[in-house]
Structure 1
Amino acid sequence: MGLYDLSAKLPGGGTQSLGDYQGKVLLIVNTASKCGFTPQYEGLEELYRDYKDRGLEILAFPCNQFGAQEPGDAAEIANFCSLTYDVSFPLMAKVDVNGSDADPIFKHLKKEQTGLLGSGIKWNFTKFLVGRDGKVVSRHAPTTKPEALRKEIEELLG
């Protein structure tokens, strides 16, 4: 089973098939509103605005597994992202990224690209870059700023 066979849960209920993103470059990130890395929303939005017309899609998955830094419900998260960082890329429903209840998308991403210290995600704003073919190309630590991915994104966009 590949990434395009999976679906993401949407904040208001329902699902979004990842198959709809076939042929695009994806940057998939687990996010949180009350984290030291939260200002990365700004860099992610900048990447999205610069590259969405060339085929980049950013998918944000709020997660409350690290220091309970995403306590809000879907409406609060969307409101925060919109008002604070003017986020226009898709925000999915809040998920777990580790453990037995980990979202299937993150299980797949972690299997494709393990981290430095094993496959588990260590903190908010871990980033997975996926090529147009649906294969996970790279995994980046929370400390990697979105702008540091520009060169790699441009190469994938061609």
Structure 2
Amino acid sequence: MSNVHDFTVTALTGAPVDLSQYRGKVMLIVNTASKCGFTPQYKGLEALHQQFGERGLEVLGFPCNQFGGQEPGDADEIGAFCEKNYGVSFSLLEKIDVNGSDAEPLFKYLKHAAPGLLGSEAIKWNFTKFLIRKDGSVFKRYAPQTKPEELTTDIAQLLDE
């Protein structure tokens, strides 16, 4: 796989999502959880979606239960929680693993393309963020503690390219 557009993932509804449909758009891909100290970042992710969506930003949230069991719900529970508590209208995808042998192939690619601290490819916690250029290449990886609003300058820069 040469870029993010080569992958197909699964929506929270179970439908396939071909990421090539986002060619020409900037993507923010995030592993999320509903019962995490960083869960309030859903509000910031939704704000980015509202602020930049019409300019071509696609926010993709991938629920993950690998960190402290903080995403125990099924697809319906996750979707309802995100909509009710944070007004999430950006795309939520199927619950996945981001580390280990069963890791979602997209995340294997992202981790290799943008390693973390000291070159580690492992994702350390929920709400690790990957910003993707319009051509599907990885621009940057952000730590879980990086708040979504701190990405506005980078997002605006990529949208203007």
* Percent identity for Structure 1 against Structure 2: 59
- Alpha-carbon separation, structure 2, partners of 1:9 and 1:151: 29
- Alpha-carbon separation, structure 1, partners of 2:79 and 2:61: 11
- Alpha-carbon separation, structure 1, partners of 2:115 and 2:86: 30
Taking structure 1 as the reference length, what is the TM-score of the superposition? 0.98
Q: Determine the structure 2 residue equivalent to 1:10.
A: 11
- Alpha-carbon separation, structure 1, partners of 2:12 and 2:41: 21
> Is there any run of 5+ residues in structure 1 with no aligned partner, and where?
none
Aligned residue for 1:42, secondary structure, equals: helix
Query: What root-mean-square deviation, in Å, do the aligned CA atoms of Structure 1 and Structure 2 show?
Result: 0.7
- Alpha-carbon separation, structure 2, partners of 1:35 and 1:57: 23
Q: Determine the structure 1 residue equivalent to 2:39.
A: 38
Tell me the alpha carbon deviations over residues 30-84 of structure 1, each in whole angstroms, 9 at most, x when there is no partner.
0000000000000000010000000000000000000000000000000000000
Q: Determine the structure 1 residue equivalent to 2:106.
A: 105
Tell me the alpha carbon deviations over residues 2-40 of structure 1, each in whole angstroms, 9 at most, x when there is no partner.
211111112222210000111100000000000000000
Q: How does 1:55-134 map to 2 (within 5 A)?
A: 55-117=56-118, 118-134=120-136
- Alpha-carbon separation, structure 1, partners of 2:127 and 2:77: 19
Over 3 Å off, 4+ runs: none
> Is there any run of 5+ residues in structure 2 with no aligned partner, and where?
none
Q: Which amino acid aligns with 1:37?
A: F
Taking structure 2 as the reference length, what is the TM-score of the superposition? 0.97
